[in-house]
Amino acid sequence: MKTIHLIRIWLAIKMPSLRSMLLSAREQEKLSIMEIRAGFNFFGFNLTDMTDQEIIFGINAAAKQFSQTGFTANEFVEAMNRLSLNPN
């Protein structure tokens, strides 16, 4: 049983479009929080002292601020790519 659970999680990580079919809502949320922690850690920000609820609150607050800018998600991604070292 544990092996099947690990395979479901692995598939959900490798194929995000299948997450809703493979994982419960709580498992999807936990996986997303782990990915957010990993992303911030990659850039040198340590979130180990933050609870999951604090991270969710921060993401919701950032989403609210972003929605007030009037930019679309694609425009935001394009702007961030231009500011990064990513040549694409």
pLDDT at position 88:
54
Non-local (6+) Cβ contacts of 44 within 8 A are none
d(CA 62, CA 3): 37
pTM score over 0.85: no
CA-angle at 63, arms to 61 and 12, nearest 5°: 115
Mean pLDDT over 66-87 rounds to 80
Q: How confident is the model at residue 56 (pLDDT cuts 50, 70, 90)?
A: very high
Q: How confident is the model at residue 51 (pLDDT cuts 50, 70, 90)?
A: very high
Using the predicted structure, report yes or no on whether residue 1 has a pLDDT greater than 80: no
- Encoding tokens for residue 28? 């999807």
Non-local (6+) Cβ contacts of 52 within 8 A are 29, 30, 33
User: DSSP string of 59-80?
Assistant: HHHHHHHHHTT---HHHHHHHH
